[in-house]
């Protein structure tokens, strides 16, 4: 089983049935695995705040959601995270590609990377960082934690974890 397939298997084992995605090269394998998983409704969104709205609705309708996006999305979604997900106390696992870290070829990505953890910290969002292969072993516990505490939780996955570009 590939890492991408294992991540999606953890989603399924934790009852996640509604996943929205905004495209990312690094998370392409996970997005493909989500699309192939018959127990998950995969709904691509055009912008991450829209995706968080969809996830909020799905949760209230009785389905556990998740969002897959790049760290640039943290810059886009601060208002939604604060006034929707956190204010109404809703769970949201956020699987995030941590662009702009070691092995990054595109300088502009670094500009958002340097703010990513600071913003998540400022928003009091529990944050986990997958840096080495094997770190994904914690995903099952992170998902259980997310749905236990009804909070958005960030899982940053960097280029070293994914084996470079």
Partner 1 sequence: MIRSEIIRDIAPILRDQLVVCNIGLPSQELHMIDDQASNFYMLGTMGLSSSIGLGVALAQDKTVISIDGDGSVLTNFGTLPTIANNVADNFILLIIDNGSYGSTGDQPTYAGGKTSLAAVAKACGCETVVECQAEETGAVLKAAIESQKMTVIVSKCESGNIKVPVITKDPVVIRDRFMTEIARRNG
Cβ(49)–Cβ(76) under 8 Å?
yes
Which window, 7-15, 61-69, 124-132, 135-143, contacts partner 1 (CB under 8 A)? Answer: 61-69
Distant-in-sequence, close-in-space partners of 38: CB < 8 Å, separation ≥ 6 = none
Under the criterion CB under 8 A, does residue 122 sit at the interface with partner 1? Answer: no
Residue 96 CA to residue 156 CA, distance in Å, equals 5
- By CB under 8 A, residue 93 contacts partner 1: no
Question: With binding defined as CB under 8 A, does residue 45 bind partner 1?
Answer: yes
Out of 9, 29, 32, 41, name the contact with partner 1 by CB under 8 A.
Answer: 41
- The footprint of partner 1 on residues 126-165 (CB under 8 A) is none
CA distance 78 to 76: 6
* Per-residue CA distances from 54 to 12, 67, 68, 70, 102 (Å): 19, 10, 13, 17, 33
Q: Interface with partner 1 by CB under 8 A: which range of 43-51, 91-99, 104-112, 115-123? A: 43-51
From 7-15, 36-44, 112-120, 130-138, give the range in contact with partner 1 by CB under 8 A: 36-44
**Three-state SS at 65:** strand
- Least separation, in Å, of the C-beta of 134 and partner 1? 34
Largest CA distance in the chain: 41
Question: Taking contact as CB under 8 A, which single stretch among the options 49-57, 93-101, 102-110, 141-149 is the one that binds partner 1?
Answer: 49-57
Contacts of residue 132, defined as CB under 8 A and 6 or more positions apart, other chains included, come to 160, 161
> Which of 2, 83, 122, 124 lies at the binding interface for partner 1 (CB under 8 A)?
83
Please report whether residue 80 would count as binding partner 1 according to CB under 8 A: yes
Pick from 90, 94, 112, 125 the residue near partner 1 by CB under 8 A.
Answer: 90
Angstrom CA distances, 137 to 10, 71, 91, stand at 10, 21, 21
Residues in the site for partner 1, rule: CB under 8 A? 18, 41, 43-47, 49-63, 65, 79-80, 82-84, 87-90
């Amino acid at each position: 089983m590939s890492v991408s397939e294992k991540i999606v298997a953890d989603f399924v084992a934790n009852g996640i049935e509604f996943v929205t995605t905004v495209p990312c090269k690094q998370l392409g394998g996970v997005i493909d695995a989500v699309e192939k998983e018959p127990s998950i409704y995969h709904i691509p969104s055009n912008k991450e705040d829209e995706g968080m709205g969809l996830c909020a609705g799905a949760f209230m309708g009785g389905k556990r959601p998740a969002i897959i996006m790049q760290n640039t999305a943290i810059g886009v979604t601060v208002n939604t995270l604060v006034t929707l997900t956190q204010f109404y106390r809703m769970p949201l696992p956020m699987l995030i590609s941590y662009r702009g870290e070691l092995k990054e070829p595109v300088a502009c990505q670094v500009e958002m990377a340097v703010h990513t953890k600071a913003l998540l910290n400022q928003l009091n969002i529990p944050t986990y960082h997958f840096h080495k292969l094997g770190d994904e072993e914690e995903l099952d516990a992170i998902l259980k934690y997310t749905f236990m505490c009804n909070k958005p939780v960030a899982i940053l996955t960097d280029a070293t974890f994914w084996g470079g570009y």
